[in-house]
Amino acid sequence: MSATTLKPHQRELWGHPVGLYILFFTEMWERFSYYGMRALLTLYLVEKTTADNPGLGWLDSESIMLYGWYTMLVYVMSIPGGMIADKFLGQKKAVLYGALILVAGHGILAFEPMWAFYTGLGLIVLGVGLLKPNISTMVGGLYKQGDIRRDKGFSIFYIGINLGSLLATFIVGYVGEKIGWHYGFGLAGIAMLFGLMVYMYGQKFLINVGNKPTEEDKKTDVSLGKLFGDLMKSPLNLVIVLLIIGYAFYAGFSYDGIDSWGYTALYIFIALVAGVMMMIYKNLETQVSRDRYLVLLLSFLIVIVFWGAFEQAGGLMSIYTKTKTDRTLFGWDIPATWFQGLNAGFIIIFATIVAGYWAKRKLKGKEASSLFKMAVGTMIMGLGFVFMIFAASEYNANGSSGMQWLVLAYLFHTIGELCSSPVALSFITKLAPVKYASLMMGVYFAATGLGNKVAGVIGESASEFGEYAIFSGITIFTVLFGLLVILLLKPLKRLTHGAEDNEREISSDETEGFELADSEAN
């Protein structure tokens, strides 16, 4: 079939569906707004109120604590966001409503009163929860099962994420640090408006993905009512959930700090998610789907470990860059926020190179499974903290550390991320039960959020143990964890039942039938 006779949603550009590039630019502007906010948040919180560009004057530990809770909630809300899409809206409308909420949230942050600050953060949490898991699910839906282009498509999509991040850290970071924090927050809102406009323009290229669930789809019941009904029928499941809830209340009464009851809410949430996960396992109809589901749950653990280390970038490493790094270059003081842009810049440079390396390795019959990539990525990222150990040692000796350690650390973090994160996104779309696709993507982002919270807890402890001990501990743990996954690789691959075998590139003509059938089904 010639390109001229293809419908808009069947057309390809540079070997991929045009819809991929619509989602690429939508996500690019959404990530511009999010990472612009992320680049400024901890620095705004710790900046003295007497400064030329005053912040809130919080302690380092207080700012990292809020950073951990905020970045966790942003991703944890992906679970209800995925459920709402699966049950009611479909991914396409969920992304639209999420974008609208994000525009409002970032816009409110442009105002200075504290009510605006907390309201804006709350709206961003809700908006990202609707948008993030569902736009990623739509990317996976553009490709037929077994299409080797899927991993490459997610890598291209990942470039969009990081192009937005790169632009945000340079533009929003500079505006926020040098002109005014709230001007930077407002600029992030304008970027999100651009993303919304791109998404609305590109709807004709997304006809076959993310549509409203059918009545058959809605029969998949993951409501809290059915959850508790199933738990009452399964004593083991009920005991597990009740034990977690019991510990949640213990945390509220016994933990020190103003966020003790925040942990109570978190543990109750984890208990409910655990109940949902057990319920889904029981409802799966075949042993193959159950085995794949177990591997999927393990991949979420890898995600938590990865992001628990990686997300020091926006918290502990951001403050370290601001306060303990010599950032002078040719007499000019480089803004601290710009160093967070190194990650995004390196991703843009290396994303297709890393994806191409793994694709060629797989075609040659060498080990290139998603779990292997994620384990290797975790170890490479962890080794990046070796350079932060050198930085901490230099600071302890001289009172400041050189910029080169940050550059090298971000380079290793980036290579590790490219081996792990886009692969994890693609892996979920391969293993997740179809009727729970958005929910599983939501759980993935919730795992990312829990990793962010772990990063916050680790960063807070630096005030007690010191950066040298924290960076050393992260390095040792991530390398050992990655090696453990590799040791367990063979039995884990058996449980996937060949989900990644026989992948190949699928043409437009082959894709047409599945797209039309999918469109009619929705």
pLDDT for 200 equals 92
Residue 156 forms part of a structural domain? yes
Q: What does the chain come to in residues?
A: 522
Residue 511 forms part of a structural domain? no
**Do strands 12-13 and 16-17 pair parallel, antiparallel, or not at all (unpaired)?**
antiparallel
Domain of residue 496, CATH code: 1.20.1250.20
Residue 519 forms part of a structural domain? no
Residue 7 forms part of a structural domain? no
Instruction: State the Rg of the chain over Cα.
Output: 22
At 61-74, the pLDDT tens digits run: 788 888 888 888 88
| Residue given tokens 């058996």 in the structure block | 494
Ranges of the chain whose pLDDT falls below 70: 1-15, 145-146, 148, 213-234, 252, 258, 438, 501-522
pLDDT for 4 equals 52
Structure-block tokens of residue 129: 């929860």
CB-CB neighbours of 403 under 10 Å? 17
Residue 6 forms part of a structural domain? no
HEC string of 16-72?
EEHHHHHHHHHHHHHHHHHHHHHHHHHHHHHCCCCCCCCCCCCCHHHHHHHHHHHHH
Among 190, 84, 87, 98, CA closest to 135: 98
Structure-block tokens of residue 154: 């997610």
**Whole-number Å distance between alpha carbons of 220 and 216:** 8
At 87-138, the pLDDT tens digits run: 788 889 999 999 999 999 988 988 988 899 899 999 999 998 899 878 888 8
Residue 3 forms part of a structural domain? no
Question: What's the structural domain count of the chain?
Answer: 1
- Interacting residues of 332 by C-beta distance below 8 A, sequence separation 6+: none
pLDDT for 8 equals 56
Structure-block tokens of residue 267: 């543990």
445 burial class (0-12, 13-18, 19+ CB within 10 angstroms)?
A: buried
Q: Which residues of 504-516 are buried (b: 16+ CB within 10 A; e: fewer)?
A: eebebeebeeebe
Per the structure, the complete domain to which residue 27 belongs is given by: 13-503
pTM beyond cutoff 0.85: no
Structure-block tokens of residue 115: 């009510």
Residue 321 forms part of a structural domain? yes
Residue 1 forms part of a structural domain? no
HEC string of 209-267?
CCCCCCHHHHCCCCCHHHHHHHHHHCHHHHHHHHHHHHHHHHHHHHCCCCCHHHHHHHH
pLDDT for 508 equals 45
Among 173, 482, 134, 99, CA closest to 322: 173
Helices (H) and strands (E) counted in the chain, each on its own, are 22, 4
**Whole-number Å distance between alpha carbons of 479 and 384:** 11
Half-sphere exposure (CA, 13 Å, Cβ side) for 516? 8
Structure-block tokens of residue 314: 């926006």
Q: For residues 222 and 210, is the Cβ–Cβ distance under 8 A?
A: no
